[in-house]
Structure 1
Amino acid sequence: MKYLTSLFLLLFLCTCGPATNSTVQSGGEVPPADRPKVVFVTGDEEYRSEESMPMLARMLENNMDVQTVVGYSLDSAGVIDPNNVYSISQLDELADADLMVVFARYRQLPAEMARKITDYAESGRPLVGFRTATHTFKYVEEKDSALMVLNDDWPTRVFGQQWIVHHGHFEDGHGKLTDVTVREGKEDNPILRGFEPFEAYSWLYHVDGGDWKLSGDSDPILMGHSLRSKQEADGKLDEYPLDQPVAWTKTYTGTSGIPARVFFTTLGHPYDFREESMRKLALNGIYWALGREDDIPEDGADATTIGTYTPNNSGFGEVYKQGVRPE
């Protein structure tokens, strides 16, 4: 009954009328019809998605002939403010997007903004998610009770899992905490072309094992091994094993009845994207989601950064780059 109630609330959210217009407009010329449009939905106050996602967007634009739009959490003056959990720009662009990429955390968007995201997810078009998309939303106030289905049920069904727990922070950005390797039998997956195992700064998320399992047809392609674990120190490895999927593919069939391709990774520390393998993983995953795996070269997508990528470390508060406006 709880699941049916949650499902009803989600269907209501996705079908309760046309969404209102975004207050942030996009510019530029209309791209050729055969040039896919990828919309990045960013907004997290911890992992510098406002730096890593535009970096990926630049590579897609310059190296892979993809049109991109990046939405951000902004303050009232139009300056990027990841701590503003109540607004994300450019969501109107999802209406005709070919792919939605989500790297957001604990947003409390108004219903009309949230509906633009959920309407896209229900449409049968592909999705890509990074790390905290397992907890894109966090509604806690009684007035938002109809939206609370988005906290856990929505990411579980769409992306494969909700937020559960991780293996510990341990001085963020000062050491590598997860050994990332290819899952046995997945070496030929096109998303892994050009990928080489590496050690990630991302501390390992628990997504499978104990009382939890990945949802639907989630199919892990990369595994992570925690190199340092609070769960191990606390004697909880029966509940939270040291080895976890860190990237998987799945499908999500929403109200449209059309199965959508989904690629998800729990990696996403800003320093992870300094690794070529991480950038190839992200770009290959985007191309796979778009149904263009045949266009992925044998050595993987061109992951050459455009300009410089010198992200701030992860962390809360005012540690993000101040006074930056969207590109």
Structure 2
Amino acid sequence: MGNLQRPRRCLGQGMKSLIRFFVAAGLLAGLAKPFAVEAKPHVVLLSGEKLYDSAVTLPKYAEALEKKFGFRCTTLTRVEKNEFANLDALGQADLVIFYMRRMTLPADQLGQVKRYIESGKPVIGLRTASHAIQNWLEMDKLVLGGNYQGHHKNELHGNASVVPGAKGHPVLNGVGSEFKMGGSLYKNTPLAKQGKPLLTGRVEGHPAEPVAWTHSYKGNRTFYTSLGHKDDFANPQFVKLLDNAVAWCLAKSAKPGASPADVADKYGIEEGKPFRIGVSLFEKMWKTDNLTLLDVRTTPEYKAGHIPGTKWIDWFSPKFADEVAKLDKDKVYLVYCAGGVRSARACKKMSEMGFKYTVDLAPGFNGWKAAGKAIEK
């Protein structure tokens, strides 16, 4: 085993003592409530490669996050080729930044990584994160939305440019329209369907490739960039991009009043394409984002029980299209039937009618009821 590195915490002992002092002082003064200290996001940074000196760049970046934003940070560096000292910090993480390369993780540590990702919390992948875990290479397409197929020659240098249609995205705020890339250009075309390119890169004699994009897995926010060479960390443009990505990933869940486009972006819903999901994510979207529920079952089915607050339009009714046409086509609709067949057809019909965002509950109301979720009659 190599030298074990203690997880690095951004919040110093002196600050912790000061916080305890204020809390104690408030109590001793007879205040009704102690001085409230807002919990700061906990960012975990995983360094598991040697080609690009992430064991140096990530701890320095963690320090910068502390100074600029006051985040709590834990930087974990691999102690052997295929393992970390431990990954327990993932259990308390609000965001994980992956910078690993072809590690064959032990089963327990792979399980910790998967549990974090399956929780729906945000993910950032840097450069070799596209092939981070040799015994779970599916992470690239499934979670990051990429399609890693190697890279162009190291001596071919080029620039990264903002995708015209992506201008205005929060991750690009303050980032120049074009800047130099520090390392070789990765080949990632085509991206997953939900991948939304923000930057492309080009080297002489070859077509452009996406070098930064957003994606969503389990309703989370994911950002990946094939940038991350040590020279990139010395480039203010890249650092600004990464700062923005961290802020975007940690942004609070959309609240009532958030635009439908923001909600769609949060969950990776493509405009005009029905989004088919399971019970857990359906419930999360309903409760967190205050979206409109639409039950397309028959009258007897609806009266026997439905999800609270549901609009109801019978799919079998000859007036279905007329009634649906009265709804706002720009909103996000959570659509369900008994078992997922009628709702899928309804979502397809609504998309054809110009509705932008429809979400289909695959297991239907039967699956919702079997899961013990809220029902009213």
Q: TM-score, normalised by structure 2?
A: 0.56
Quick check: 1:134 aligned with 2:130? Answer: yes
Given candidates 201, 207, 227, the residue that maps to 1:242 is 207
1:85, 1:109 within 8 Å by CA — same for their partners in 2?
A: no
Q: Take 2:222 and 2:85, find their aligned partners in 1: how far apart are those partners?
A: 23
Q: Take 2:223 and 2:60, find their aligned partners in 1: how far apart are those partners?
A: 19
Shift of the alpha carbon at 1:89? 3.5
Given candidates 85, 97, 100, the residue that maps to 1:101 is 97
1:42, 1:88 within 8 Å by CA — same for their partners in 2?
A: no
Q: Render the CA deviation track for 1:61-107: whole Å, top value 9, x for unaligned.
A: 01111110000012xxxxxxxxx322124510110110011000011
Question: Residues 260, 155 of structure 1: CA spacing in aligned structure 2 closer, same or farther, 3 A cutoff?
Answer: same
> Structure 2 stretches of 5 or more lacking a match?
20-36, 255-377
> Which residue of structure 1 aligns with residue 143 of structure 2?
158
Summarize the alignment of residues 54-93 of structure 1 with structure 2, pairs less than 5 Å apart. 54-74=59-79, 84-93=80-89
Question: Residues 47, 124 of structure 1: CA spacing in aligned structure 2 closer, same or farther, 3 A cutoff?
Answer: same
1:287, 1:293 within 8 Å by CA — same for their partners in 2?
A: no
Shift of the alpha carbon at 1:24? 5.3
Question: Residues 199, 25 of structure 1: CA spacing in aligned structure 2 closer, same or farther, 3 A cutoff?
Answer: closer
Identity percentage over the alignment?
Answer: 29
Shift of the alpha carbon at 1:26? 6.3
Q: Render the CA deviation track for 1:23-82: whole Å, top value 9, x for unaligned.
A: 9566666795530000001111211111121121111101111110000012xxxxxxxx
Q: Take 2:44 and 2:108, find their aligned partners in 1: how far apart are those partners?
A: 18
Q: Take 1:23 and 1:179, find their aligned partners in 2: how far apart are those partners?
A: 36
1:44, 1:103 within 8 Å by CA — same for their partners in 2?
A: yes
* Other structure's SS at 1:47 match: coil
Task: Please tell me whether Structure 1 or Structure 2 has the larger radius of gyration of its CA atoms.
Answer: 2
> Which residue of structure 2 aligns with residue 184 of structure 1?
164
Given candidates 153, 162, 177, the residue that maps to 1:168 is 153
Q: Render the CA deviation track for 1:211-270: whole Å, top value 9, x for unaligned.
A: xx211411001111114xxxx5xxxxxxxx5201110011101xxxxx110011011110
Q: Take 1:26 and 1:199, find their aligned partners in 2: how far apart are those partners?
A: 31
Q: Take 2:59 and 2:253, find their aligned partners in 1: how far apart are those partners?
A: 22
Quick check: 1:222 aligned with 2:199? Answer: yes
Amino acid corresponding to residue 156 of structure 1 in structure 2: K
Amino acid corresponding to residue 120 of structure 1 in structure 2: Y
1:56, 1:283 within 8 Å by CA — same for their partners in 2?
A: no
Root mean square deviation of aligned Cα: 2.3
Q: Take 1:23 and 1:46, find their aligned partners in 2: how far apart are those partners?
A: 19
Q: Take 2:180 and 2:233, find their aligned partners in 1: how far apart are those partners?
A: 12
| Bigger mean CA offset, 89-98 vs 34-43 | 89-98
- List structure 1 segments (4+ residues) > 3 angstroms apart after TM superposition: 22-33
Shift of the alpha carbon at 1:164? 1.0
Q: Take 1:247 and 1:293, find their aligned partners in 2: how far apart are those partners?
A: 22
Aligned pair count reads 227
Q: Take 1:293 and 1:124, find their aligned partners in 2: how far apart are those partners?
A: 12
Q: Take 2:78 and 2:5, find their aligned partners in 1: how far apart are those partners?
A: 12
Quick check: 1:116 aligned with 2:112? Answer: yes
* Other structure's SS at 2:247 match: helix
Q: Take 1:136 and 1:162, find their aligned partners in 2: how far apart are those partners?
A: 13
> Which residue of structure 2 aligns with residue 306 of structure 1?
none
Shift of the alpha carbon at 1:206? 0.7
Amino acid corresponding to residue 280 of structure 1 in structure 2: K
Amino acid corresponding to residue 151 of structure 2 in structure 1: H
1:49, 1:270 within 8 Å by CA — same for their partners in 2?
A: yes
Amino acid corresponding to residue 249 of structure 2 in structure 1: A
* Other structure's SS at 1:185 match: helix
> Which residue of structure 1 aligns with residue 249 of structure 2?
289
Given candidates 33, 50, 63, the residue that maps to 1:45 is 50
> Which residue of structure 2 aligns with residue 6 of structure 1?
none
1:223, 1:243 within 8 Å by CA — same for their partners in 2?
A: yes
1:70, 1:90 within 8 Å by CA — same for their partners in 2?
A: no
2:8, 2:73 within 8 Å by CA — same for their partners in 1?
A: no
2:124, 2:224 within 8 Å by CA — same for their partners in 1?
A: yes
Q: Take 1:268 and 1:26, find their aligned partners in 2: how far apart are those partners?
A: 21
RCO (CA 8 Å, sep 6+): is it higher in 1 or 2?
1
* Other structure's SS at 1:287 match: helix
Question: Residues 272, 292 of structure 1: CA spacing in aligned structure 2 closer, same or farther, 3 A cutoff?
Answer: farther
Q: Take 2:49 and 2:42, find their aligned partners in 1: how far apart are those partners?
A: 22
Q: Take 2:87 and 2:163, find their aligned partners in 1: how far apart are those partners?
A: 35
